[in-house]
Amino acid sequence: MMMRRYRDRARRHLLEDHGEELAAIPLGPGATGTGSSYIRREAAGAWHLAADLVEQYAPLIWRSVNARMQERDRKLRTRNDQLLEANPTAGLAQPLTWLLDEQPVVVWAKNSAGKRVRRYWSVLVLVEVRWHDPMDPMSFPQREYRLRLMRAYPRPNHTAWRLMFDEVGVRPDFVVADHASAIGNAVDLHFGPGVVGFVPSMFHMRRNLREALLDTKAATTIVQGRKTLVEPLAKHLDLLHRDDLAALTPADWARWWDDLEHHAARLGVPVAGMTDRRRLYEPRVAKAMPLLTAQPHLPASNAAVENRIRHLLEPFLTNRKQMYRNLARLNFLLDLAVARQQGAFTDLEDVAKLIHDDNEAAGGWAPQPRTLADPQPPKPKTGDLPARYASLFNAHLVEVLAGDRLPSSTDPAGAR
C-alpha cells in the first residue's frame, strides 16, 4: 500500500509539474501481462515471500501480544468477580465487554471439473472495550474500542464462535452483537444461559427496520430527489436510540411496536414482515433494558465493529480475498492485524529484538516456512484436473476443531 502511495505521488508530480503522464511499464514484444509475464511472476514471488514471513514470525509476535491481553483480561475478570460477590446487583465501572460481528466473504474458485463456482467463508471479529477514568470524577468512564481477536472460518455458525470464545479464554460480563442467532446461541452454550449479559445492537435493529420500510412504496416519499421515509414513520424510528430506549419499560416498548404497526397499517404498508421483525426484536431488547439502565455507560451498539471491519479488515480483503486458501496461515495474518491495533509495531526495534532473541534461542535458526501447506490429493492418471483442497473452504473443519478444543456440551461453562 505504501508503494501505491509513492506511485500516485509520482504520477501527480509528473502531471502537475511537467505535464507528463506516468507511462506503463513495457512488457516486451508479445507480452500480454498474463500467463508467465515478468510482472506476474514477480507478483507471485512477492505473495509467496509474504506468506512465508507471516507463517514464520506471526506466531512469535502474537504470543507476546496475546499474553499481555490475557493477563489484563484475567485481572479485570478477577476484580469484577470480587465486586459481584460482595454485591450481585452492583453496577460495574469497567465491565469486561465484547462487541461481536462477522464479515462474510464470497469468492470464485475452480472446482475439480475446472468450472468456476462460488466459495464462501467468513471472518469473525471481536472488539474489546477498554475503559479509562474520566477527567470529571462525576462522569462515566470513557470507552476505547480495539480489536481483540479475528478468526477466519468456513462457516460463521455458533460452533465457530465458541472456538473463538475458547481462544480468548475469559468470560465477559457483557456481549454486544447483532440479532443473529449464531452469536446468542454460542454465548449461552459456551458460558451458560443468562451468565453473560447480551445487548442486541440498536444500530442494526434501526438500520434493518429502516431498510425494510424503504423497500415499501407506501412508506416512502421523495424529498429533493431522494427517497426517504414518510414523516410519521421517520419520527417513530428516531426513538430507537439508547437514551430513549433505556427510559422505557417493557410495556412502553410493546406500545412502541403497537404504534409502529398502527402507522404502517394506516399508510397501507404490509404488516406481515413487521410482525416477523417484532417477534425477533421485541423480546431481546426488552430483556436488555434492565442491563442498559443498571449500566448507563455500557455501549448499546456494535457499530464500532463495523468501523474496525471497514478500516482494518477490508484492506486485507480488497483484491486479495480470492488468493486466500490456507486457514491457519490466514489466521496468522489476522493475528498481525490485531497485534498492530494493540500497539505491537509501535517500536519496530522491539519487534526486531523479539525475532533476534527467538533466533538466538534456536541456535541461530529461523522458523521453517511452508509447514502449513494444505495436503493435496494425487493427480489422477486420466489427465483431468486434480481436485484442489483448501482448508479455508472445508466446512467440516469447524466441527473437527470443536471436537478437539471445546468442553462437553453438558458443561457449557467448562472450567470458566
Same domain, 361 and 282: no
The alpha carbon dihedral of 17, 23, 24, 28 has a sign of negative
Q: Is residue 271 part of a domain?
A: yes
Q: Is 50 exceeded by the pLDDT of residue 410? A: no
Same domain, 196 and 208: no
The residues near 116 (Cβ < 8 Å, ≥ 6 apart) are 108, 109, 110
Q: Is residue 137 part of a domain?
A: yes
Q: Give me the pLDDT at residue 25, please.
A: 47
Q: Is residue 144 part of a domain?
A: yes
Last residue of a domain, one of 266, 299, 332: 299
The pairing of beta strand 220-223 with beta strand 226-229 = antiparallel
| Residue 21 and residue 7 in contact, taking contact as beta carbons nearer than 8 Å | no
| Residue 163 and residue 397 in contact, taking contact as beta carbons nearer than 8 Å | no
| Residue 159 and residue 399 in contact, taking contact as beta carbons nearer than 8 Å | yes
pLDDT in tens, 193-232: 999 999 999 888 988 899 989 988 888 998 888 889 999 8
Q: Is 60 exceeded by the pLDDT of residue 411? A: no
Count of CB atoms situated within 10 Å of the CB of 81: 13
Q: How far apart are CA 221 and CA 227, in angstroms?
A: 6
Same domain, 192 and 173: yes
- Residues comprising the chain, all counted: 416
Same domain, 186 and 223: no
Range of the domain at 261: 202-299
Same domain, 176 and 212: no
- Print burial letters for 98-107: b (CB count within 10 Å at least 16), e (below 16): bbbbbbebeb
Q: Give me the pLDDT at residue 408, please.
A: 61
Last residue of a domain, one of 299, 315, 340: 299
Per DSSP, which regions of 263-333 are E strands? none
Same domain, 280 and 349: no
Place of cell 445492537: 201
Q: How far apart are CA 93 and CA 80, in angstroms?
A: 9
The chain-wide mean pLDDT, for the chain, equals 85
Count of CB atoms situated within 10 Å of the CB of 153: 23
Q: Is residue 340 part of a domain?
A: yes
Reading the block at residue 249, the C-alpha cell is 419499560
State the total domains in the chain. Answer: 2
Same domain, 196 and 206: no
| Residue 172 and residue 98 in contact, taking contact as beta carbons nearer than 8 Å | yes
Compute the CA torsion angle 261, 262, 266, 271 (nearest 10 deg). 20
DSSP 90: P
Same domain, 221 and 307: no
Same domain, 279 and 354: no
Q: Give me the pLDDT at residue 379, please.
A: 73
Same domain, 90 and 170: yes
Q: Is 80 exceeded by the pLDDT of residue 156? A: yes
Last residue of a domain, one of 256, 276, 299: 299
Same domain, 98 and 245: no
Q: Give me the pLDDT at residue 64, please.
A: 92
Provide the β-strand partners of residue 176. Answer: 99, 199
Which whole number is the average pLDDT over 268-282?
Answer: 87
Q: Is 90 exceeded by the pLDDT of residue 27? A: no
Q: Is 90 exceeded by the pLDDT of residue 15? A: no
Report residue 36's pLDDT band, with 50, 70 and 90 as the boundaries. Answer: low
Q: Is residue 316 part of a domain?
A: yes
Q: How far apart are CA 219 and CA 141, in angstroms?
A: 40
pTM: predicted TM-score of the whole model, two decimal places? 0.83
Q: Is 90 exceeded by the pLDDT of residue 14? A: no
Reading the block at residue 211, the C-alpha cell is 431498510
